[in-house]
């Protein structure tokens, strides 16, 4: 044995092994730090460490078999030991080891003293150093199964209290309650919600006694970190809820929250029936369909009829009204003044009853956002998040204020934060998918959309998100085929008929688009095929209304601009004036919005200064968006139009080529008035030919696969 050891030293195997281990350790420290800076997945470091470990025995074998000689590397058996320079090589390796050891000490000191936040992994590190938890609805084990409102109510109370804790990331109610009545493994739940711990429980009522059991489970190991059983007399239900919730919070504080003080207040109805109606309303509204939101609104109204001083019901009733004014939920039938008349008193009453209720403050901010009062909206969202750091919708809404300020990366960060807190929210998922497609990240958008379909296979929001992503990437034929599936699943949803009609327009199937009976799309098809009389008939039909839809004012302007006529200029000027009047009546900040399509309209109507102001806004916004990479192919043609209006014709040609390179095209390209200004360029014919070829390819794909 001693002779083997001496031979290992003579051949410098020991020195090579020590040097390799030190180099690997220093390299892993540097790589670990670099991966932390770029927020790379932890498995990358694990793979590198595994490769280093695999290499260790290979290096030892190499050092045993080969020896360095003045003539180069040779097998040890071929070296004359009387001429061996192994001792000199050993001394050089000693100096190398000392140097590496010095470097290792320096690296260790840097990690310990300059970056003291680094530490051994704990259960919280999987979530960026913040403890994370999902609270599942408690199961009702009562014989009569009549305690559902209590089982959900106590889980809701615990979740609400935990959500207001700064040092704890809490999965939103929409996501954690999605597992109600599902036999899903705790580890699967934890992985889907990206949390390290799960709180589950049960209640069992027997006569005058009720037993509540709660347990905290570590997702990674599946082991119980804590559990407790509470037996109480079944008297005042809310008193029991408050008492048990407070006791559970106290126990969780020891296991998850450390010494953080809890400055939290419960807001709950004074009546069981009112509270039950409120919970039902919350569940229905989370489904995000028009029928469900209407049903939720009725539940909130029922709760307030029983308990008029229940602040959260006032807030959520206001939220339901604001959702129903959106087009995706049938908002075309609602007048904005009617909505404000309904929302205002309920928000005022909610904040009078509970001035620091995060939901009421955030929903007020949502109303500000919908009314283009972005400064006030941002202030409310910041305050709501301060009060409830786990309020997913507040992050999602605040992101929209960042968009208005041109802070696109901040916007995406808030959208991703909202999704991390509430990954099963259809609204938040659809919004994040939309932003991913705007950043030209269709694969990320597909990942989110796939999850939406997995959770709700036929949901309208999932179809809309998928349609938006296909269309954004120039995949109009695939979008049209999907729109047909959406119509089959939702035959009464006019939104999907509009989608299909305009997608058919984009791939040049004009008659098929007209056949769908969507007036807006039909008017465009008539214009694009020179059927001006039929286009005019549709325009006259819609302009007979006292307050025609704004889109028809634009359609009429486009008609006169293309069809011409003896009074075309007068009509166009009058229409622009009507459009501006509508903008002003709605307090829409049109002068500070980038709309290159509107610039020529403004100029032709004598609004030269306003046209210049819009161009300045576009110039700033497009620069910001290009720097952030926030410009999908579907919006690139707008940049082309702006570039033409900005008299940068060479650049406009280059950007049109890039638009094609990114896979987009449109049948309407050659009838866009501003694009006609490229007609004198030598590249114009090839641009038109390339666009026509791409449109034809999309059209053929659709026809082959319909």
Q: How confident is the model at residue 12 (pLDDT cuts 50, 70, 90)?
A: low
Which pLDDT score is estimated for 476?
A: 95
Three-state secondary structure call for residue 68: strand
Query: Is it the case that residue 3 has pLDDT exceeding 50?
Result: yes
Q: For residues 317 and 304, what is the distance between their CA atoms, to the nearest angstrom? A: 9
Phi–psi pair at 460, nearest 5 degrees: -60, -40
Which pLDDT score is estimated for 85?
A: 65
* Structure letter (DSSP) for residue 516: T
pLDDT digits (tens, 9 = 90+) for 368-415: 999 999 999 999 999 999 999 989 999 999 999 999 989 999 999 999
Show Cβ contacts of residue 700 under 8 Å, excluding neighbours closer than 6 positions. none
Query: Is it the case that residue 617 has pLDDT exceeding 70?
Result: yes
Three-state secondary structure call for residue 126: helix
Q: How confident is the model at residue 187 (pLDDT cuts 50, 70, 90)?
A: confident
- Does 136 or 75 have the greater pLDDT score? 136
Which pLDDT score is estimated for 118?
A: 39
- Does 362 or 7 have the greater pLDDT score? 362
Q: For residues 391 and 394, what is the distance between their CA atoms, to the nearest angstrom? A: 6
Share of the chain above pLDDT 90, in %: 44
Which pLDDT score is estimated for 207?
A: 76
Among 185-189, 237-241, 458-462, 476-480, the minimum mean pLDDT is found in: 237-241
Three-state secondary structure call for residue 204: strand
What does the pLDDT average to over 496-514?
96
Q: Write the secondary structure of 267-318 as one string of H (helix), E (strand) and C (coil).
A: CCCCCHHHHHHHHHHHHHHHCCCHHHHHHHHHHHHHHHHHCCCCHHHHHHHH
Q: How confident is the model at residue 117 (pLDDT cuts 50, 70, 90)?
A: very low
How open is the CA angle 408-411-416, to the nearest 5 degrees? 130
Are 645 and 599 spatial neighbours (Cβ–Cβ below 8 Å)?
yes
Which pLDDT score is estimated for 43?
A: 55
Which pLDDT score is estimated for 265?
A: 47
Query: Is it the case that residue 114 has pLDDT exceeding 60?
Result: no
Query: Is it the case that residue 633 has pLDDT exceeding 70?
Result: yes
Q: For residues 562 and 569, what is the distance between their CA atoms, to the nearest angstrom? A: 11
- Does 322 or 73 have the greater pLDDT score? 322
Radius of gyration of the chain (CA): 33
Which pLDDT score is estimated for 488?
A: 96
| 201 token code pair | 């429980």
Which pLDDT score is estimated for 276?
A: 81
Side-chain half-sphere of 237: how many Cα atoms within 13 Å? 19
pLDDT digits (tens, 9 = 90+) for 137-172: 888 887 777 777 677 777 877 887 777 777 778 888
Q: How far separated are the first and last CA of the chain, in Å rounded?
A: 78
Q: For residues 398 and 381, what is the distance between their CA atoms, to the nearest angstrom? A: 6
| 347 token code pair | 């928000």
Three-state secondary structure call for residue 170: strand
CA of residue 63 relative to chain centroid, distance:
53
Q: Which domains does the chain have, with CATH numbers?
A: 2-114 (no CATH), 125-257 (3.40.50.10610)
- Does 175 or 112 have the greater pLDDT score? 175
Q: Write the secondary structure of 606-642 as one string of H (helix), E (strand) and C (coil).
A: CCHHHHHHHHHHHHHHHHHHHHHCCCCHHHHHHHHHH
Please give the mean pLDDT across all residues of the chain: 83
Show Cβ contacts of residue 290 under 8 Å, excluding neighbours closer than 6 positions. 324, 329, 330
Among 1-15, 18-32, 405-419, 614-628, the minimum mean pLDDT is found in: 1-15
pLDDT digits (tens, 9 = 90+) for 651-703: 999 999 998 888 888 888 877 888 888 988 999 999 999 999 999 999 999 99
* Structure letter (DSSP) for residue 132: E
Which pLDDT score is estimated for 9?
A: 65
- Does 392 or 248 have the greater pLDDT score? 392
Q: For residues 418 and 431, what is the distance between their CA atoms, to the nearest angstrom? A: 10
Three-state secondary structure call for residue 415: helix
Query: Is it the case that residue 102 has pLDDT exceeding 80?
Result: no
Quick one: CA dihedral 676, 678, 679, 680, positive or negative? Answer: positive
Query: Is it the case that residue 267 has pLDDT exceeding 50?
Result: yes
Q: What is the DSSP annotation of 69-107?
A: ETTEEEEGGGS-GGG--HHHHHHHHHHHHHHHHHHHHHH
Which pLDDT score is estimated for 327?
A: 81
Three-state secondary structure call for residue 67: strand
Closest CA to 22 of 90, 78, 96: 96
Q: For residues 194 and 176, what is the distance between their CA atoms, to the nearest angstrom? A: 11
What CA dihedral angle connects 178, 173, 198 and 193, to 10 degrees? 70
Are 166 and 260 spatial neighbours (Cβ–Cβ below 8 Å)?
yes
pLDDT digits (tens, 9 = 90+) for 208-238: 788 888 888 888 888 888 888 888 777 666 6
What does the pLDDT average to over 420-445?
91
């Amino acid at each position: 044995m001693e002779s083997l050891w001496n031979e290992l030293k003579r051949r410098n195997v020991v020195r090579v092994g020590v040097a390799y281990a030190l180099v690997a350790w220093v390299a892993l420290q540097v790589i670990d730090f670099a991966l932390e800076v770029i927020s790379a997945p932890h498995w990358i470091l694990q793979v590198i460490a595994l490769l280093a470990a695999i290499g260790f025995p290979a290096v030892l074998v190499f050092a045993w078999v080969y020896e360095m000689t003045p003539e180069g590397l040779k097998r040890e058996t071929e070296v004359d030991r009387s001429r061996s320079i192994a001792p000199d090589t050993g001394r050089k390796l000693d100096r190398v080891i000392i140097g590496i050891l010095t470097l290792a000490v320096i690296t260790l000191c840097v990690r310990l003293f300059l970056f003291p936040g680094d530490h051994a992994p704990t259960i919280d590190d999987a979530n960026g150093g913040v403890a994370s938890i999902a609270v599942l609805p408690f199961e009702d084990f009562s014989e009569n199964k009549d305690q559902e409102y209590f089982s959900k109510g106590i889980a809701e109370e615990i979740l609400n209290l935990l959500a207001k804790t700064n040092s704890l990331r809490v999965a939103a109610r929409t996501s954690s309650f999605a597992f109600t009545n599902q036999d899903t493994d705790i580890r699967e739940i934890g992985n889907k919600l990206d949390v390290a711990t799960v709180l589950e429980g049960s209640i069992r009522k027997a006569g005058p006694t009720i037993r509540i059991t709660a347990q905290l489970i570590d997702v990674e190991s599946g082991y119980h970190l804590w559990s407790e059983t509470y037996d109480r007399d079944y008297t005042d239900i809310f008193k029991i809820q408050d008492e048990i919730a407070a006791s559970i919070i106290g126990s969780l504080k020891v296991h998850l929250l450390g010494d953080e003080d809890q400055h939290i207040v419960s807001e709950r109805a004074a009546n069981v029936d009112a509270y039950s109606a409120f919970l039902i309303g919350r569940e229905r509204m989370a489904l995000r369909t028009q029928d469900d939101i209407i049903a939720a609104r009725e539940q909130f109204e029922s709760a307030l009829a029983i308990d008029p001083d229940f602040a959260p019901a006032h807030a959520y009733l206001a939220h339901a009204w604001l959702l129903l004014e959106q087009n995706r939920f049938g908002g075309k039938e609602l007048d904005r003044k009617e909505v404000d008349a309904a929302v205002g008193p309920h928000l005022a009453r909610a904040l009078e009853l509970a001035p620091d209720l995060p939901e009421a403050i955030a929903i007020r901010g949502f109303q500000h956002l919908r009314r283009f009062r972005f400064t006030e909206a941002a202030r409310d969202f910041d305050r709501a998040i301060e009060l409830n750091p786990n309020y997913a919708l507040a992050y999602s809404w605040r992101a929209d204020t960042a968009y208005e300020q041109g802070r696109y990366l901040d916007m995406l960060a808030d959208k991703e934060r909202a999704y991390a807190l509430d990954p099963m929210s259809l609204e938040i998922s659809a919004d994040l998918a939309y932003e991913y497609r705007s950043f030209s990240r269709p694969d990320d958008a597909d990942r989110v959309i796939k999850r939406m379909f997995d959770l709700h296979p036929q949901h309208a929001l999932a179809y809309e998100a998928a349609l938006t992503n296909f269309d954004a990437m120039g995949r109009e034929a695939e979008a049209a085929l999907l729109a047909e599936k959406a119509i089959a699943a939702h035959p009464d949803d006019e939104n999907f008929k509009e989608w299909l009609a305009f997608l058919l327009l984009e791939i040049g199937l004009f008659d098929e688009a007209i056949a769908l009976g969507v007036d807006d799309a039909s008017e465009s098809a008539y214009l694009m095929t020179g059927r001006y009389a039929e286009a005019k008939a549709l325009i006259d039909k819609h302009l007979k209304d006292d307050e025609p839809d704004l889109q028809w004012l634009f359609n009429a302007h486009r008609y006169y601009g293309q069809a011409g006529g003896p009074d075309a200029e007068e009509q166009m000027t009058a229409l622009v004036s009507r459009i501006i009047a509508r903008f002003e009546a709605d307090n829409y900040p049109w002068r500070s919005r980038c709309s290159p399509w509107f610039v020529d309209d403004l100029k032709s109507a004598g609004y030269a200064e306003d046209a210049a102001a819009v161009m300045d806004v576009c110039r700033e916004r497009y620069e910001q968006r290009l720097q952030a990479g926030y410009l999908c192919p579907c919006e690139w043609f707008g940049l082309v139009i702006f570039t033409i209006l900005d008299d940068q014709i060479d650049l406009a040609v280059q950007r049109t080529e890039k638009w094609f390179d990114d896979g987009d095209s449109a049948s309407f390209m050659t009838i866009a008035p501003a694009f006609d200004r490229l007609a004198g360029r030598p590249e114009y014919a090839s641009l038109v030919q390339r666009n026509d070829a791409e449109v034809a390819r999309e059209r053929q794909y659709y026809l082959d696969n319909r």
